[in-house]
Structure 1
Amino acid sequence: MTGTTSGRDGRSAAVLGPGGVGGLVGALLARSGADVTFLAGEATAAALTEHGVHVRSRQVGELHVPARAVTRLDRPVDVVLVAVKQTALDHALDRVPPEALGDGVVVPFLNGLDHLDVLRARYGTERVLPATISVESARVAPGEIEHTSAFVDVGLAPGAVEPERVEAVRKLLDRAGIETRVYADETALMWAKLSFLAPFALLTTTYRAPIGDVRTAHGAELEALVREVAAVAAASGAPSDPERTLARYERFAPEAKSSMLRDAEAGLPLEVDAIGGAIVRAADRAGVDAPLTRVLVAGLGG
């Protein structure tokens, strides 16, 4: 990968959406010596430029980095990390015109499946590197990030991106302390996260309750939904292990909430269509039924 700017480690990155995920990842990259540009609205960009990004992390402790923040990509970079919500994607992409990207790679950290088609149509299939991220992190104010998990894990799948570019992105993230693995199968990577996330998000948000309450009061529904989503995943060509998913929920702290529930509590737009809607559309494509998912999506306004 060759961008026209570089940090001390020879890599440059732009972070579209410096919220809980983007702010954390951008700060970790900056700490590692990467040349990072944050892309945000005028007020947020001004706050980051003046005060930098401050992270309080269970994993790395206190972290403060200066920030270069602009409202629109103004120079080529090696990597653009897309860390906005699906509900804000169309508007946010105006900050990254295809002609401004140079020969950089777009790495999306969004929930769901459908954003990959949107990004590939805009930037080209060979420029979009499918990815997932597992982390619990929230923006409490512009440039103020609370990272509450003891991990930041990224999965990459090459898609049509050249192998050397995939490896360059992996190394960039790895140097920042972000555990990053490359998977051969894009479908398996994307469904592994969605199969876990969808039941968690849909049920905690429907009942406005953390996972402990859902396990106790709605355990049968949780199990049924996990198995239904696993069947859609399998019909879509992805490995499926509902028992493993249910076991992961059992290990969650009872007070754990999905990001969708936190958005609902804050009165923010919900990613019902990106998460639940993606399951319904996949079920339709595969010719399988997903009645429980449909009811939950409809009930949440998706």
Structure 2
Amino acid sequence: MTTTPLTVAVLGPGGVGGLIGGLLARDGHRVVCLAGEATAAAIARDGLRVRSAEFGEFTARVEAATELREPVDAVFVTVKETALAAALDRLPAEVLGTGIVVPLLNGLDHMAVLRERYPAARVVAGTIRVEAARTAPGLIEHTSPFAAIELGANAEPDSPVAEFAEQLRHTGLDVALREDETAMLWSKLSFLAPFALLTTRHASGIGTVRTEHRAELLAVLDEITAVTRAVGAPADAQTLLASFDRIPGTMRSSMQRDVEAGRPTELDAIGGAVLRAADAHAVAVPTIARLVHDLTESANR
């Protein structure tokens, strides 16, 4: 894998998938974007156009289709959780075969769904930390000074996932391997849940949250730390707080952007996942429960 160009499918070439697909194509790999007819047609015609302070501004020529029609080396699943069930029809298990499947979705529940649907494939847990958005079909705006991927796999250099990770690093992405899948997924969720819930609830960037609503932020961090430890993953509230204090104050969550655009949100995949884990382990999370309740009520108005 480290010397031969790969064929990689991207299911859902939005902000995250479009950025990864564009970087892979620019680095010489064959990329097939799987999307609806209009989006697929636009990408086939115009390519993936990326605007990034980190990676520059470029257009990458890729293929596009509404459904996978041949086996690939790997596929990134980068749709929103709310669109996952319908999107998987574009990725037939019998066509995919034994390729590597890397979901970069928020939450936890998608892992069981994918492993049941693609038993022959290597479904590798993944997370990404990035702020990127699709502003038009095939047009990707990457606004964070980072794009960091973690993959749940051992670091043996001759393993397929380790080789795949090396290919991804060559594109410029920051890629790390984590042997403890549970710790990796909860490390992401323990940051994402407070970030998404609070920026969406207060309709503001994280800078406003950490100054004007700091007491609430501290309460949420204490609660998410307790849940994370209860499921068997390491967590520290002060380390989380340092992360929140370090990121650019203008950063907003994708959940917040979805609310502003009137789109379905990943509230259940993010906040709901925390509440279900808290209930299963008898951990009290009153602040998180209130935020989820308030956001649910707001969405139903």
Task: State yes or no: 1:55 paired with 2:55.
Answer: no
Q: Secondary structure at the match of 2:296?
A: coil
Aligned to 1:9: 4
The partner residue of 1:236 within 219, 228, 231 is 231
CA distance in 1 between partners of 2:159 and 2:248 (Å):
39
Q: Identify unmatched segments of 5+ residues in structure 1.
A: 2-6
Task: State yes or no: 1:174 paired with 2:169.
Answer: yes
CA distance in 2 between partners of 1:76 and 1:18 (Å):
18
CA distance in 2 between partners of 1:181 and 1:27 (Å):
20
Q: 1:25 to 1:164 in 2, by over 3 A?
A: same
The partner residue of 1:285 within 269, 280, 285 is 280
Q: Secondary structure at the match of 2:159?
A: helix
Count of residue pairs the alignment pairs up = 296
Task: State yes or no: 1:77 paired with 2:77.
Answer: no
Tell me the TM-score normalized by structure 1: 0.93
The partner residue of 1:262 within 241, 257, 264 is 257
Shift of 1:126: 5.8
Shift of 1:286: 1.7
Deviations 1:171-207 (A, max 9, x none): 2211221111111111111111110110111011111
Deviations 1:220-272 (A, max 9, x none): 11100011001000000000111011111112332221111111111111110
Aligned to 2:200: 205
Which amino acid letter does the alignment assign opposite residue 42 of structure 1?
A: E
Which amino acid letter does the alignment assign opposite residue 167 of structure 2?
A: L
CA distance in 2 between partners of 1:237 and 1:8 (Å):
38
CA distance in 1 between partners of 2:121 and 2:135 (Å):
35
Which amino acid letter does the alignment assign opposite residue 104 of structure 1?
A: G
Task: State yes or no: 1:220 paired with 2:215.
Answer: yes
Judge conservation of contact 2:52–2:142 (CA < 8 Å) in 1: yes
Shift of 1:108: 0.4
Aligned to 2:294: 299
The partner residue of 1:121 within 111, 116, 127 is 116
Aligned to 2:90: 95
Aligned to 1:68: 63
Q: CA RMSD in A?
A: 1.9
Aligned to 2:36: 41
Q: 1:114 to 1:125 in 2, by over 3 A?
A: farther
Judge conservation of contact 1:76–1:102 (CA < 8 Å) in 2: yes
Residue range with higher mean Cα deviation, 233-242 or 172-181: 172-181
Judge conservation of contact 2:97–2:121 (CA < 8 Å) in 1: no
Percent sequence identity over aligned pairs: 53
Judge conservation of contact 1:8–1:34 (CA < 8 Å) in 2: no
Q: Secondary structure at the match of 1:145?
A: strand
Shift of 1:293: 1.4
The partner residue of 1:18 within 6, 13, 16 is 13
Shift of 1:152: 1.4
Judge conservation of contact 1:8–1:35 (CA < 8 Å) in 2: no
Judge conservation of contact 2:126–2:151 (CA < 8 Å) in 1: yes
Judge conservation of contact 2:98–2:120 (CA < 8 Å) in 1: no
Deviations 1:65-99 (A, max 9, x none): 11200000011001010011111100111100100
CA distance in 1 between partners of 2:179 and 2:158 (Å):
11
Judge conservation of contact 2:101–2:121 (CA < 8 Å) in 1: no
Residue range with higher mean Cα deviation, 32-41 or 162-171: 162-171
CA distance in 2 between partners of 1:199 and 1:179 (Å):
23
Shift of 1:150: 2.1
Tell me the TM-score normalized by structure 2: 0.94
Q: Identify unmatched segments of 5+ residues in structure 2.
A: none
Judge conservation of contact 2:96–2:121 (CA < 8 Å) in 1: no
Residue range with higher mean Cα deviation, 89-98 or 212-221: 212-221
The partner residue of 1:185 within 180, 192, 198 is 180
Q: 1:148 to 1:181 in 2, by over 3 A?
A: same
